[in-house]
Structure 1
Amino acid sequence: MGNSDLRDLATIREVTFDELEGSAIAVDAHNWLYRYLTTTVKWTASEAYTTDDGVEVANLIGIVKGLPAFFEHDIVPVMVFDGAVTDLKADEVAERRAQRERAEERHEAAKERGDAIEAARLEARTQRLTDTIQETTRELLRLLDVPIVEAPAEGEAQCAHMAATGAVDHAGSEDYDTLLFGAPTTIRQLTGSGNPELMDLEATLAELELDRRELVDVAILCGTDFNEGVRGIGPKTAVKAIREHGDLQSALEAHDATMPNAAAVQELFFDPPVRDVEFDAAIEPDVEAAREYVIEKWDVDRDEVARGFERIEESQVQTGLDRWT
């Protein structure tokens, strides 16, 4: 789910990239990219990723820094991009837009009073995936031979579908929605400096003594990206309510609450717009073309991406050697 309530309920364990070696992960691309984008903006001088025309492409630095961890462990990142926004998510999207606008106002105020640290923090929160960022991200991924999937709607639903059908080994996202969409396993913290985490659906259901439909009902009671929850009901109370009353509607009645779109949210989690896909798992990145695209075409500071490209090149040499041993 979009909020963190399921963090208290999901069965999650730390893993290492070594344990994930040789796997394919359907990565929620917008989720992954946004985290690298905001981090780059927060900690890197804007001159490093701004063209002479004033176009900002901090995403290119983030991608070059983020992909080596996959390549170095022979992990295939299948980047899944969001499609059309689900009608049920319209309110959530509007709220995020409003939050960005408020951050933009505070960012300008911080600049005016000379508070550089606060201005950098707020500027990171104002980032959005512009058309240029969308286009340059896809082109750089193509040059690096990273598989791209365009989801019909929610990217996390497509990731979960690919994991559930065996097209990939895991979904990859920071959101908990993949659990509700039925991904058997989800890898989290793919953008962090520490070890990733593995979120296990079956272990979660066993621990909570619920089935997946009941877990979805628990999430709906708490609130998801697609509905507002019932005031005063947190994750533990929601689990207790579903165990006691058996289903969402009975739990709502017991709490004297109504939720007009409950059935639509349930249906979305169990029958979301997704599609079956095929991709080539043999990745052969054109590092020289990617380097030229980032540095020459988009004026990105060479020093900011030098080590990332070196790591990608080194990973390909090592992967080649491993195939012959």
Structure 2
Amino acid sequence: MGIKFGELLNEIREPLKLRELKGKKIGIDAYVVIYQMLARIRSDDDSANALTDAQGRTTSHLQGLLNRTLSLVDEGINLVYCFDGKPPEFKKRELAKRAEKKRRAEEEYKIAMEKEDFDKAKKFAQQMISIDEQIVDDSKKLLDLLGIPYVTAIHDAEAQLAVMAQQGLIDAVASQDYDTFLFGAPLVLRNVTVSRTRMIRGQLKTVIPEKIYLEKALNELRISRTQLINLGLLVGTDFNDKIPKVGIKTGLKLVKQFPEWNDLIDHVSKTFFKEGDTMETYFPAAAPEIIQDYFNNPPSIDDLTINFNQRADIKGITKFLVDERNFSEERVSHRLMGITKKQKQKSLNSFF
């Protein structure tokens, strides 16, 4: 879901030119990219369905991941992807809500198809998108073959990436989710794509790559990171429900007026809670203190090392995509030309 406080950052976000990232180490939220590709790349005969191979296995994510990754590598950017691990217990309620939303979308999709209302069917198909184990395993296999490192977080990828950035293992985090700031990522990049397009609410739209510095954002908003986390709790996170009648602007005023959580929630409960509401109404999965601690001290991988100098297995990529997943050999060969040339040049340089 992600925290919805993008409107507060309109005066803080800065345009980003991809050439600025040459030689930089960028951590990418893998699930965000995979979801984007599943939403964007559809079959030619039915735009409501993803691309599949001869056995019916989804391949949209592989095509998108290949193109997105190599386009950024061609810009001289060092990439590391991060996959979500097992969700924390207090996130399972949110995941159950998402699963129910997908189930309802599936029912609506079937009704729309029966009525031959293909525009509506496409809308519900977007809501049905999910990332299963096969999609994750195939994505990791492709990254292995490309020589692109990846890590699997203990829980949330954005938390692991934020810790990696704090430790200096990467220079920035590339993610569309603003949650990354709550976990303390110093620099977040959005819309990191050479094509400058992204699927937004079912529509392909032009986007501008941008960068947002956490310290600058906090200074401009005149709040601390603790207050930012408290703001997140007011407007709703993946771990708790939104307080009624508290939007992002009202929430910002409140965290400034009441910097301490106990004072803040005491005022909010008296002013905004509905009759009969308790803390458990809006924090049913975990107490606020537990969620605050999770944002401040998320579990992360100890003693992590990342090898950014792996070689791509050109033959292995071709075998996987062409022989096993029915990609066009000509297209795959053409897409691999850049990385093949680069590896040959490296080999030649090392020889001399």
When normalised by structure 1's length, the TM-score is 0.90
SS at match of 2:295: helix
Match of 1:212 in 2: 225
Q: Partner amino acid for 1:231?
A: P
Deviations along 1:227-259, one digit per CA (max 9) or x if unpaired, are 112111112211211111222221121121453
Deviations along 1:184-215, one digit per CA (max 9) or x if unpaired, are 00111125732421121000110011111111
Match of 1:299 in 2: 326
Match of 2:189 in 1: 187
Contact 1:104–1:123 (CA under 8 A) maintained in structure 2: yes
Deviations along 1:65-90, one digit per CA (max 9) or x if unpaired, are 21122211111111111111112212
SS at match of 2:279: coil
Superposed, 1:202-281 pairs within 5 Å as: 202-255=215-268, 256=270, 257=273, 259-260=279-280, 261-276=287-302, 277-281=304-308
What is the CA-CA distance between 1:111 and the residue it aligns to?
2.1
Superposed, 1:28-43 pairs within 5 Å as: 28-41=29-42
Using CA pairs under 8 Å that are at least 6 residues apart, name the structure with larger relative contact order, 1 or 2.
1
Structure 1's 110 and 117: CA in aligned 2 closer, same or farther, altered over 3 A?
Answer: same
Structure 1's 229 and 42: CA in aligned 2 closer, same or farther, altered over 3 A?
Answer: farther
Structure 2's unaligned 5+ residue stretches are: 197-207, 281-286
What is the CA-CA distance between 1:298 and the residue it aligns to?
1.5
Could you tell me how far apart the structure 2 residues matched to 1:64 and 1:27 are? 14
SS at match of 2:140: helix
Aligned pairs, number: 324
Deviations along 1:305-324, one digit per CA (max 9) or x if unpaired, are 56543454456568889999
Deviations along 1:93-145, one digit per CA (max 9) or x if unpaired, are 11211221122122222222223344334323312112211111111110001
Superposed, 1:282-321 pairs within 5 Å as: 282-302=309-329, 305=332, 307-313=334-340
Structure 1's 164 and 197: CA in aligned 2 closer, same or farther, altered over 3 A?
Answer: same
Structure 1's 81 and 225: CA in aligned 2 closer, same or farther, altered over 3 A?
Answer: same
Match of 2:4 in 1: 4
SS at match of 1:123: helix
Contact 1:152–1:274 (CA under 8 A) maintained in structure 2: yes
For 2:125, which of 98, 118, 123 is the aligned residue? 123
Structure 1's unaligned 5+ residue stretches are: none
Superposed, 1:106-185 pairs within 5 Å as: 106-185=108-187
Q: Partner amino acid for 2:313?
A: D
When normalised by structure 2's length, the TM-score is 0.83
Match of 2:52 in 1: 50
SS at match of 1:77: strand
Report the aligned-residue RMSD. 2.7
Match of 1:68 in 2: 70
Q: Partner amino acid for 2:33?
A: W
Deviating more after overlay: 44-53 vs 179-188: 44-53
Could you tell me how far apart the structure 2 residues matched to 1:225 and 1:88 are? 9
Structure 1's 321 and 68: CA in aligned 2 closer, same or farther, altered over 3 A?
Answer: farther
Percent identity at matched positions? 29
Contact 1:32–1:191 (CA under 8 A) maintained in structure 2: no
Deviating more after overlay: 114-123 vs 85-94: 114-123
Contact 2:25–2:171 (CA under 8 A) maintained in structure 1: yes
